[in-house]
A and B are shown apart, each in its own frame.
Chain A
Amino acid sequence: MTKVIITVTSSVNDEQFKSICDGLKRKFGNDLSFEKCVDDGIIGGFIADISGDIYDASIISQLKKMSKHISIG
Chain B
Amino acid sequence: MMDSSVKIINEWDIVAARQLGRNVAKELGFGTVDQARITTAISELARNIYLYAGQGEITIEKIENEAKKGIIIISRDAGPGISDLRKVMEDGFSTSGGLGAGLPGVKRLMDEFSIESDPRKGTLIQSVKWLR
Q: Do A and B assemble together? A: no
B binding-site residues for A, Cβ under 8 Å: none
